[in-house]
Structure 1
Amino acid sequence: MTTWEYATVPLIIHATKQILDQWGADGWELVQVVPGPNNGLVAYLKRPTGEK
């Protein structure tokens, strides 16, 4: 069974693509983007931990 680790990442509107590209290059998969504080956005990401 796959186990997962999770991260929440604040997104800066003018750099959203670069932020998500960097996390994706590190093996993170985008799960959802939701409204955050101060009219910002927060991304929820996951990746397998490697444990079985």
Structure 2
Amino acid sequence: MKKWEYLTAPVLIHNTKMILDNFGADGWELVQIVQGPDGQGLVAYFKREKA
């Protein structure tokens, strides 16, 4: 059975592609982006398989 680890991270609107590319290069898969609790920022949820 696969085991996963998860990460949440803020996403800056003006630099979205670079932020997501960096996480992807580290093996993280984007699951979802939602509005942050303050109602203005974005929060990204990532997962990757545990080694």
Under TM normalisation by the shorter chain, which class is it?
A: over 0.9
Q: C-alpha distance in 2, partners of 1:6/1:16?
A: 19
Unmatched runs of 5 consecutive residues or more in structure 2: none
Unmatched runs of 5 consecutive residues or more in structure 1: none
Q: Which residue of 2 aligns with 1:23?
A: 23
User: What is the root-mean-square deviation of aligned Cα atoms in Å?
Assistant: 0.8
More helix by share: 1
Give TM-score, length-normalised by structure 2.
0.93
Q: Secondary structure at the match of 2:5?
A: strand
Structure 1 stretches of 4+ with a deviation exceeding 4 A read none
Give TM-score, length-normalised by structure 1.
0.91
